[in-house]
């Protein structure tokens, strides 16, 4: 490839080593930051070189697909392009990330990764654009893992590098869990140095429920940060929450009572949503830890078999398999069923309350509401159903009338062809109009009984009198789908008559 020798070895000399990888301390962060810096320095150099080589054209056109354009001296100002504008993670509703401010102050290169990926990201719209986005996300994740490994590779032994990398992730996860437990879970960790790998995948999985349910990101962010609609500030846990809940349960007074009650209900549901989300994320965070274990086990098994991981791809695949295994176990657990259902239900309750609030406003403005439209659509669908049914029945009746209006032809046909069946009887011999409850017969419901009554069949005796031909024709005109014979109404009627 002709790239220049990587200067990473010098970097080892002044690298600050974390002595205790189990604690997410400042020196560890500095460590990662330094690693990132070195890594991206390396990349930038390569990028410039590649920009002048492989993508030498340097024309406006070429730079559109040139992933290194942003770093190329011939390209425009790389900072002119807001890296967050296209950042798929910028929509993260849990923006109040405690790490974000912590790292931003210390990491002058924060965003370099974004910058680079923004540059590589194709500008396509539509199908291609969405697929490109997925490649982009995957590549970012893969490169981020490479970055992590590269950073940790400063260790004397490569295996120790991986160990350190995993320990740091474990520490970060434990910290995340502690945050959630302390109700400080407004942030999904954008863990320095390891973003985009398995950790943030878990975090994204935990987060992705929100867009799934079509909630507005902004709204969720507000909720997650404790700001409720109407200027209500949501306190944290414990006594304060209890008091707050009590306040929310106080009956509303006077003429705005209903509206007050709606708001109280919404606030209660928001609190319960907040709790459900916490439970859901906690379960995810714990499972992410389990996935690290699963990966460890795979590594041990490899070691036992005397096999080695000699490529990033091999490491990535093993990582995916281990994580998927832990995830599958989690996803099939009773715990997941509960936290998942609780979260969806809690979110739906909030959404329902919001809909009601909006509808109330609409009513005040004399604007039609969703409920009204629903009622109309429901009725319309009912009418369409009936209409179809009636048209079908009319067509059948027409056909029947047509058959009946040609008795002469039928009779002569019967005379001519000796094999033709004798004309079926058109009415039942006994003439009794006593009404009996025909629903005693299996297969006859109230609607069917009505239809039978309309045909003059009002009691068991009449049913019992039917012959097969009559039953078949009756079945056709009632659109009973063969039920009369299949369910043996005649036999059942006979039985009931004793």
Q: Which is nearer to other proteins, 148 or 428 (CB)?
A: 148
Buried b vs exposed e over 406-434: b needs ≥16 C-beta within 10 Å?
A: eeeeeeeeeeeeeeeeeeeeeebeeeeee
How many Å apart are CA 364 and CA 371, to the nearest integer? 15
What is the token pair recorded at 405?
């209006």
Query: Cβ distance 289 to 167 under 8 Å?
Result: no
Q: Return the residues of window 14-33 that contact other proteins according to CB under 8 A.
A: none
User: According to CB under 8 A, which one of 82, 101, 216, 377 is a site residue for other proteins?
Assistant: 377
Out of 17, 178, 331, 394, the only residue in the binding site for other proteins (CB under 8 A) is 331
Toward other proteins, which CB reaches closer, 140 or 458? 140
Task: Identify which of residues 22 and 380 has a Cβ nearer to other proteins in the complex.
Answer: 380
HEC secondary structure over 190-244? CCCCCCCCHHHHHHHHHHCHHHHCCCCHHHHHHHHCCEEHHHEECCCCCHHHHHH
If binding is defined by CB under 8 A, does position 187 make contact with other proteins? no
Choose the stretch contacting other proteins; rule: CB under 8 A; options: 248-256, 372-380, 401-409, 464-472. Answer: 372-380
Binding test (CB under 8 A) with other proteins, winner from 20, 355, 387, 400: 355
CA proximity to 19, closest of 8, 10, 31: 31
Contact 172, 191 (CB under 8 A): yes
What are the beta bridge partners of residue 232? Answer: 228
Among 45, 342, 359, 488, binds other proteins (CB under 8 A): 342
Of 169 and 464, nearer to other proteins (C-beta) is: 169
- Window 420-439: contact mask with other proteins (x via CB under 8 A): --------------------
Nearer to other proteins, 128 or 250 (CB): 128
Identity of the residue, 122 or 235, whose beta carbon is nearer to other proteins in the bound complex:
122
Q: Give the separation between CA 270 and CA 276, rounded to whole angstroms.
A: 10
The neighbour count for residue 76, using CB atoms within 10 Å, is 12
Enter the tokens of residue 471. Answer: 């039953």
Q: Does 154 bind other proteins (CB under 8 A)?
A: yes
**Alpha helix positions (H), 53-111:** 60-65, 98-106
What does the CA dihedral 13, 19, 22, 28 come to, rounded to 10 degrees?
Answer: -40
Rounded CA separation 165/154 (Å): 11
Site for other proteins contains 280 (CB under 8 A) = no
Mark the segment that binds other proteins (CB under 8 A) among 81-89, 106-114, 171-179, 330-338.
330-338
Interacting positions 475-494 with other proteins (CB under 8 A): 481-482, 486
Query: How far apart are CB 323 and other proteins at their closest, in Å?
Result: 5
Q: Which of residues 444-463 bind other proteins (CB under 8 A)?
A: 445, 447-448
Distance CA 131, CA 497 (A): 70
Query: Which of 269, 278, 349, 462 is in the footprint of other proteins by CB under 8 A?
Result: 349
Closer residue to other proteins, CB minimum distance, 334 or 433: 334
Q: Interacting stretch for other proteins, rule CB under 8 A, among 5-13, 234-242, 246-254, 277-285?
A: 5-13
Which residues inside 52-81 make contact with other proteins, applying CB under 8 A? 54, 65-67
Tell me: does residue 308 bind other proteins (CB under 8 A): yes
- In 258-287, which positions are buried (b, 16+ CB within 10 angstroms) versus exposed (e)? eeeebbbbbbbbbbbbbbbbbbbbbbbbbb
Give min distance, CB of 123 to other proteins, in A. Answer: 9
Name residues contacting other proteins, limited to 83-142 (CB under 8 A). Answer: 120, 122, 124, 127-128, 130-132, 134-139, 141-142
Residue nearer to other proteins on the CB measure, 202 or 244: 202
Q: CA 164 to CA 193: how far, in whole Å?
A: 12
Q: Which letter, b or e, does each residue of 361-379 get, where b requires 16 or more Cβ atoms within 10 Å of its Cβ?
A: eeeeeeeebeeeeeeeeee
Size of interface with other proteins, in residues (CB under 8 A): 95
Question: Does 383 interact with other proteins (rule: CB under 8 A)?
Answer: no
d(CA 264, CA 489): 58
Of 141, 120, 162, nearest to 298 by C-alpha is: 162
**Residue 167: burial class (beta carbons within 10 Å; 0-12, 13-18, 19+):** middle
CB of 143 to other proteins, least distance (A): 6
Instruction: Mark the segment that binds other proteins (CB under 8 A) among 77-85, 187-195, 334-342, 423-431.
Output: 334-342
Compute the least distance from the CB of residue 18 to other proteins, in Å: 18
Here the tokens at position 263 are 């708001």
In angstroms, what is the minimal distance from the CB of 46 to other proteins? 7
Q: Is residue 369 part of the contact set for other proteins (CB under 8 A)?
A: no
E-assigned strand segments in 376-481: none
Closest CB 71 distance from other proteins, rounded Å: 13
Q: Does 46 bind other proteins (CB under 8 A)?
A: yes
Restricting to residues 188-217, name those near other proteins by CB under 8 A. Answer: 201, 205, 208, 211-214
Q: Which of 257, 297, 388, 409 binds other proteins (CB under 8 A)?
A: 388
Compute the least distance from the CB of residue 486 to other proteins, in Å: 8
378 binds other proteins (CB under 8 A): yes
């Amino acid at each position: 490839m002709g790239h220049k020798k990587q200067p990473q070895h010098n970097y080892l000399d002044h690298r600050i080593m974390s002595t205790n990888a189990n604690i997410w301390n400042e020196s560890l962060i500095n460590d990662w930051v330094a690693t990132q810096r070195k890594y991206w320095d390396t990349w930038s150099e390569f990028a410039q070189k590649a920009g002048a080589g492989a993508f030498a054209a340097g024309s406006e056109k070429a730079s559109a697909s040139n992933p290194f354009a942003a770093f190329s001296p011939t390209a425009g100002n790389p900072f002119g392009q807001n890296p967050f504008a296209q950042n798929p993670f910028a929509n993260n509703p849990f923006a109040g990330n405690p790490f974000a401010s912590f790292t931003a102050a210390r990491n002058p290169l924060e965003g370099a990764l974004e910058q680079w990926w923004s540059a590589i990201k194709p500008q396509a719209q539509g199908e291609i654009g969405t697929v490109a986005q997925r490649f982009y996300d995957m590549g970012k994740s893969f490169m981020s893992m490479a970055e992590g490994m590269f950073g940790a590779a400063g260790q004397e032994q490569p295996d120790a590098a991986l160990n350190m990398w995993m320990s740091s992730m474990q520490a970060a996860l434990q910290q995340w869990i502690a945050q959630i437990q302390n109700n400080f879970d407004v942030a999904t960790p954008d863990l320095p140095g390891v973003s985009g790998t398995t950790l943030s995948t878990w975090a994204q999985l935990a987060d992705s429920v929100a867009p799934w349910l079509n909630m507005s990101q902004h709204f969720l962010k507000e909720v997650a940060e404790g700001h409720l609609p109407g200027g209500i500030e949501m306190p944290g846990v414990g006594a304060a929450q209890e008091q707050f809940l009590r306040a929310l349960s106080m009956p509303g007074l006077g003429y705005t009572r209903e509206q007050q009650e709606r708001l109280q209900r919404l606030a209660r549901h928001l609190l319960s949503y907040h709790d459900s989300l916490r439970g859901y994320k906690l379960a995810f965070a714990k499972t992410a830890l389990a996935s690290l274990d699963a990966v460890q086990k795979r590594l041990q098994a490899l070691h036992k078999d005397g096999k080695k991981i000699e490529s990033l791809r091999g490491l990535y695949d093993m990582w995916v398999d281990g994580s998927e295994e832990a995830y599958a176990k989690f996803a099939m657990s009773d715990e997941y069923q509960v936290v998942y259902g609780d979260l969806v239900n809690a979110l739906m309750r909030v959404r329902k309350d919001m809909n009601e609030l909006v509808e109330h406003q609409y009513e005040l403005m004399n604007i039609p509401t969703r409920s009204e439209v629903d009622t109309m659509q429901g009725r319309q669908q009912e009418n369409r159903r009936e209409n179809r049914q009636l048209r079908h029945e009319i067509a059948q009746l027409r056909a029947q009338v047509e058959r009946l209006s040609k008795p002469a032809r039928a009779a002569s046909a019967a005379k001519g062809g000796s094999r033709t069946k004798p004309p079926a009887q058109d009415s039942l011999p006994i003439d009794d109009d006593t009404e009996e409850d025909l629903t005693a017969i299996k297969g006859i419901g109230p609607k069917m009984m009505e239809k039978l009554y309309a045909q003059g069949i009002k009691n068991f005796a009449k049913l019992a009198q039917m012959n097969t031909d009559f039953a078949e024709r009756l079945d056709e005109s009632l659109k009973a789908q063969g039920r009369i014979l299949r369910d043996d109404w005649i036999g059942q009627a006979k039985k009931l008559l004793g």
